[in-house]
């Protein structure tokens, strides 16, 4: 033991000397020396420059988190949903991490010099352990259920915009291949009062998705009323998609599909109605400029409704969303399904169809609405985990950009019976407790053994007489 202690001291002295040298490749060795310091229980004295960088790193993380909280406050609801989707797995991961960390905790406990330190260490560890072990009692995930609801139907958001240029006939044809129950689109009126499909309006009208700057050089493209439908349909509405690849999906298209996408035009509402009627698909849309109307007879609602009636499509295939002239529209087209943006308006109007952002309703609220026979469509849902969560919650349908991905899901990414999950987390907790108890006893025995050895060695002379 004396030789071992002497060699240990020599190693520590050498390490101090080496670390104090100015090596050319010091940066590459800093991590290694940091680990060695930890291994021999030597305090790591940081250079002042290191402390500055640590402070700046902490400041950056703090400011970044604060900025995220302020700018994307609405997205905290998505964070909550992600916890609902992953909470059971996070808890099991926390149990594993706690089990591994307990080794260091028990080591610190046995090395503590005072009873107060030992009590503090053990009480803190017990509180954290209790929180980790018992948190499944507070986990409320809709995917822990005995009764899995039917798969939500798919609504193509501007068609299938990951596979074709948004709001083009190619995009809607692609969405039909996904078995969508409805097309979602955006309707505006041209100068000659004909409805056409285009999302961007106002100052960005036509600029993002067409070649209006090249085709109508010097023409004010800030207003839809400056172009007739015939002029709009001369624009290229697909080249931008192939060029910019907004969803990094163009590489999955064949050469023929890329060529087709590059030559898409701005479609009229009448064209989409023909397709919807042929394939028995419903239609839901936003009227982008309805708030600018001065009366129903001159409104986008009126001209759009008249176009729909002339198409001959069954009125129950139209999910009417615009609230501005809802009652006037109902008078001339009583068969339209009325869809609402919030529960208050729906209840006041005696409706039964909600269209809301996915984060606006929690699982309990969705379940309660479905029990009242209210249809719930949630937008825009592109991720498998989110679709799985809303599936477990009981949503009727979701509006999505990724219908080609979600159509191939035949069950949620995961769901568990409550009894099965209870067996899993209790078993994990018990195994963890047994391992922790074993590590505690082993370290206690090891400490007592080392103490007895040191005590006996102190009685021996260091040098022979």
Q: Using pLDDT thresholds of 50, 70 and 90, give the confidence band for residue 248.
A: very high
Task: Examine the pLDDT at 405 and tell me if it is beyond 60.
Answer: yes
pLDDT at residue 224 in the model: 62
pLDDT at residue 459 in the model: 59
Question: pTM of the prediction?
Answer: 0.83
Pairs from 349-355 (Cβ < 8 Å, separation ≥ 24): 353/319, 353/377, 355/284, 355/319, 355/321, 355/379, 355/399
CA distance 302 to 429: 64
At 296 the three-state DSSP class reads helix
pLDDT at residue 51 in the model: 80
- Cα angle vertex 76, ends 75, 77, to 5°? 85
8 Å CB contact between 141 and 388: no
Q: Give the C-alpha distances (Å, rounded to integers) separating 444 from 109, 125, 438, 456.
A: 10, 17, 10, 19
Can you tell me the mean pLDDT for 63-74? Answer: 78
Q: CATH assignment of 153-406?
A: 3.20.20.190
pLDDT at residue 220 in the model: 62
Strand duo 182-189 + 195-197: pairing:
antiparallel
8 Å CB contact between 403 and 178: yes
Can you tell me the mean pLDDT for 253-263? Answer: 98
Can you tell me the mean pLDDT for 88-105? Answer: 96
pLDDT at residue 82 in the model: 94
Average pLDDT, the chain: 88
pLDDT at residue 44 in the model: 59
pLDDT at residue 42 in the model: 52
pLDDT single digits (tens) 300-328: 999 999 999 999 999 999 999 999 999 99
Instruction: Give the domain ranges of the chain.
Output: 46-142+418-457, 153-406
Task: Examine the pLDDT at 221 and tell me if it is beyond 80.
Answer: no
């Amino acid at each position: 033991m004396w030789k071992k202690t002497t060699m240990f001291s020599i190693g520590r002295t050498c390490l101090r000397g080496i670390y104090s040298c100015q090596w050319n490749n010091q940066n590459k060795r800093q991590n290694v020396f940091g680990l060695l310091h930890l291994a021999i229980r030597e305090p790591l004295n940081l250079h002042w420059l290191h402390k500055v960088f640590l402070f700046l790193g902490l400041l950056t993380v703090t400011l970044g988190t604060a900025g995220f909280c302020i700018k994307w406050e609405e997205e905290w609801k998505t964070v909550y949903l992600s916890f609902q989707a992953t909470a059971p797995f996070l808890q099991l991961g926390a149990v594993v991490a706690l089990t591994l960390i307990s080794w260091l905790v028990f080591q610190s406990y046995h090395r503590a010099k005072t009873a107060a330190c030992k009590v503090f260490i053990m009480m803190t560890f017990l509180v954290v352990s209790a929180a980790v072990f018992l948190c499944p009692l507070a986990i409320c995930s809709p995917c822990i259920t005995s009764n899995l609801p039917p798969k939500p139907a798919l609504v193509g958001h501007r068609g299938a915009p990951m596979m074709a240029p948004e709001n083009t006939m190619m995009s809607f044809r692609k969405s039909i291949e996904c078995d969508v129950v409805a097309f979602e689109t955006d309707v505006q009126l041209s100068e000659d009062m004909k409805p056409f499909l285009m999302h961007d309006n106002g100052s960005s009208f036509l600029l993002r998705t067409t070649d209006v700057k090249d085709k109508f050089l010097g023409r004010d493209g800030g207003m839809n009323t400056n172009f007739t439908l015939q002029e709009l349909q001369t624009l290229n509405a697909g080249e931008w998609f192939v060029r910019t690849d907004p969803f990094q999906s163009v590489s999955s298209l064949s050469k023929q599909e890329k060529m087709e996408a590059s030559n898409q035009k701005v479609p009229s509402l009448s064209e989409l109605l023909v397709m919807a009627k042929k394939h028995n698909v419903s239609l839901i849309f936003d009227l982008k400029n309805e708030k600018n109307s001065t009366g129903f007879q001159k409104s986008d609602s009126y001209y759009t409704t008249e176009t729909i009636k002339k198409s001959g499509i069954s009125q129950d295939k139209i999910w009417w969303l615009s609230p501005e002239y809802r009652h006037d529209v109902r008078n001339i087209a009583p068969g339209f399904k009325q869809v609402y943006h919030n529960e208050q308006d729906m209840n006041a109007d005696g409706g039964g169809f909600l269209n809301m952002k996915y984060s606006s309703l929690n699982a309990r609220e969705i379940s309660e609405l479905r029990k009242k026979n209210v249809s719930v469509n949630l937008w825009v849902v592109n991720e498998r985990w989110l679709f799985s969560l809303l599936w477990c919650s009981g949503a009727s349908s979701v509006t999505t950009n990724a219908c080609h991905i979600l159509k191939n899901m035949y069950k949620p990414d995961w769901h568990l019976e409550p009894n099965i999950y209870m067996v899993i987390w209790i078993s994990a907790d018990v195994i963890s407790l047994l391992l922790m108890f074993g590590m505690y006893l082993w370290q206690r025995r090891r400490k007592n053994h080392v103490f007895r050895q040191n005590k006996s060695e102190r009685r021996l002379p260091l040098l022979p007489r």
